[in-house]
A and B are shown apart, each in its own frame.
Chain A
Amino acid sequence: MNYETMATQRTPALIIYLLDVSGSMSRAMGKKMRIEVVTDSLTSALRQMVFRSTKGGRLSPRYRVAMLAYSDHVYDLLDGVKSIEHVAKLGIPSLSTQRSTETAKAFIQAEKILMEELPNLQSCPAPLICHMTDGEYTGADPAPIVERIKQIAVPDGPVLVENIFISGNITPEPIADPANWPGIMPETTLENEYARKLRDLSSPIPDSYRAVMLEFGYRLGTNARMLFPGTSPELVSLGFQMSAATPVR
């Protein structure tokens, strides 16, 4: 129960992405649309997985990935759970924006995947759900489902839930230096009700993940939560980098 199990070819890490593609994702973030920033960051996270899975010229797949885009409906972008080797061949699916934000539906679908995969994950690192959204849910409250998911555990630990919240500033001070930013702590003042809710739903960052993030150049603090305010492309990228931070052999 310490998130120390290493991702290997025989015990790959399962990462499930839940990507909000509601209409608001077409709003601008810097010079790009939010959805483009997310696509770029997702690409760089998958590159990181390929980087960490490569031995010589061979891809030794240490990650398995599912990718669900959601709006009014949930779209399975990879048609199931696929190895990073497969994703590397496919490339990143294109994301286009839809309308509403049915977050609960996406988490229900993630829960289904987890339950199907669970028997095969007993020697693997704890799975991680990386949820990216830019606004409050429509439809049912996802909190009860997320809490249920956080109770699902493998010997390495309970399922980890990470949230990337693309929004305006949610902290009293803008985050000027992501590399030295300690992260969102339980006591950090958050000026947005939904951000506070997402923090409650986010897992604490395991020490092993913090150590890997340090290798990536980020100094996250001991009690930081897996909540990343996506106020800039760099912070969105930081959030997605975290999803590839399972320790690997």
Chain B
Amino acid sequence: MFASALRSAHMSTLREVIHESVREGELYEKLDRNWVRCFACGHCCKIPDGQPGVCKVRYNRGGTLYVPWGYVGGIQCDPIEKKPFFHAHPGALAYSFGMLGCDLHCSYCQNWVTSQALRDPAAVVGPMRVTPAELVLDAIRQGGRVIVSTYNEPLITSEWALAVFKEARAAGLVTGFVSNGNGTPKVLEYVRPWVDLYKVDLKSFDDRHYRQLGGRLQPILDTIKRLHEMGFWLEIVTLVIPGFNDSDDELTRLAEFLAGVSSDIPWHVTAFHKDYKMTDPENTCAETLMRAAEIGKRAGLRYVYAGNLPGMVGDWENTRCPNCQELLIERYGYLITGYFLAPQGCCPSCGASIPGQWDPAFRQQITARPFVPLMRSQSDLLVLDS
């Protein structure tokens, strides 16, 4: 009884903050009877007066859609390789910010403290009020060259992300979304002028799986095609979960779809570790990850990377020239251990042009954060040792 009272107290406080930190959205239309239709994500919620959308953070009050504004749920400066972007400004620090809420509810979410804050009382996080100018100043102070909307789903907080990105552009920063890809044509047109880099987490190639996570497959595939056509710099990541999405058949269909959009899209297959409510599957082993990477190559993708298991996946952390196999960028986790790409992103050996957004020269890599992913097994061992 006490615990549930505490939980509801927390939820109501959080709701109050969320309901104060809003402004009228731009991604919606008014319907009759004071209903609205939101276009921020693929759900395209029709929302009656007094209710929120599926994301719980965009809500209708008196026929006006209010959307999150003026706060962050989390900020951190990391190597851009952690996002992961491997073909955009290698070595740059990416300043990440997120708000609260998500249009999906994945049981293995690794950012569930912020994404599920309004659904799950166990997800406790304190939002901080900020202005776009303050965020950009902090990004620059910390050495960020890229600024990324991530942690929660950026599409559902696009209005705020654009306010931040307009300041960021003026300050010379590169901008990016790290997203589940559940978009609409309208939201992509809305963000296109202000978003340079776009990462989509393609979680499965099975519509039944997506419905379990709270979405549908088709809007995500449509979004991936559109992102490529519209000229965002696009990279795809798939968290490979044993027994959930790691069958040869599913991975092959997924990779063939991506190769059909463009064989130049980098595909990151990354290792799952037990999190949130998904604790049954085993953590992904290196063999499974390398099998997934092989499938990507066979499907015709030219840049396939295996992530989250540094030093355990052979050559799959590195970028090689697809034409002459020359080693172009060598990595260990998020750390760049060798950079041989010629200016303008060309292979120094055969001159082939490598797709991506490259700096004229590698500017070395600095960070206060670790260059390898936090691995549960390692931290468990540390506890045992002490």
- Say if A and B assemble together: no
Report which A residues bind B (CB closer than 8 A).
Answer: none
